[in-house]
Amino acid sequence: MSPRPPPDLAPDLDRLRRSHGYRARRLLTGPQRPRAEVDGRALLSFCSNDYLGLATHPEVVAALRRGAERWGVGSGAAHLVIGHSAAHQALEEALAEYTGQARALLFSTGYMANLGVFSALTGRDDLVWEDRLNHASLLDAARLAQARLRRYPHGDAAALAQRLDPGGARLVATDGVFSMDGDLAPLPALAEVAARVGAWLLVDDAHGLGVVGARGRGSLEHWGLAAEPRLILMGTLGKAFGTFGAFVAGCEEVIETLIQRARSYIYTTASPPALAEATLAALRIAAREGWRREHLQALIGRFRAGAAQLDLPLGASSTPIQPLIAGHSERSLAWSGALEQAGILVGAIRPPTVPAGSARLRIALSAAHEPGDVDRLLEALARLPRGEGG
């Protein structure tokens, strides 16, 4: 009997192209900076999550180099085998101090960190509640843990409270700063609801740490929430801190349980120790150089004021993530293409990343931008076609 041919994937790819949902990679041929070399062309980029401009900071680069000279390139094994170095330990302790939590635990990516929390703390048929606009990693984590996933209206703690019975949930999960909208979750109200039913509250603060809060400590600092046993924080290191990786922070029992039971921690090679050295340097810079956040906030204010004068359809965001709502995918692609013709790179975000009918340009500002960069962007946005055909 001859083998059957594999499934034909071409029709699905063609459907994506016809529906304006096809995604193509861009080739970056230089460092992660506002003035980027992309597909062989110099463009002013508003795509990067390098919010504090630390990805190319000389101190961070030098720390990575020194780390490689001391530790080599790879870690060689998982943390629980022989891959957990003194560099990893120092970074975990620094992250715990930075976030005001008892302990922190490194993961390779934010996706793996969220998978680890759900795999360790929830199981088959445990009820978990998530914001409808949560990052895909939080939604996938619940599904892969075989928990019963329920979703509440975006940012609506009152609606969540109405749907929860005492003892009726194992975990409530939310973004701290929503990655496509830039708005903040109402963490105090969510914490109150979670406490009432005896659930953990998991806050994915990938886009808040380093950026929001009086000292840049993230969404928990912004809302004045102190460490407590029900609160679990996930943060990434490849955004405001400019390097790579992620961590989970929380109480002693939660972190120790993750070490024992989080499959995405146990069964993966530890990140390079040199990378931990670079991240520790970035963390110290973020802590001492408050001017970076001040400059970033000034740029955000400048952009929003200019956008208001132009009557641009911006989402309500006080963070570096500024969504310009196009509506349908074709328009978002046309806007992105028009900006690129003007020498400016802004990504078009389409379903399923965002809900149907809310395709957008996701404008990301960085402390590495200058006021003139923002003015140039606004001038280009003013020329975008905004009628029915544009």
Residues with active-site annotation: 179, 207, 239
List the end-to-end C-alpha distance of the chain, in Å, as a whole number: 55
H or E segment and range at residue 60: helix 58-71
Distance of CA 297 to the CA centre of its chain: 18
Structure tokens at 44: 């002013």
Nearest partner of 123 among 229, 260, 262, judged by Cα: 262
Backbone φ, ψ for residue 231 (5° rounding): -100, 130
b/e per residue, 278-287, with b = 16+ CB within 10 A? bbbbbbebbe
The β-bridge partners of 323 are: 362
**DSSP states of 79-101 as a string?**
IIIII--HHHHHHHHHHHHHHT-
User: Cα 143 to the chain's mean position, in Å?
Assistant: 20
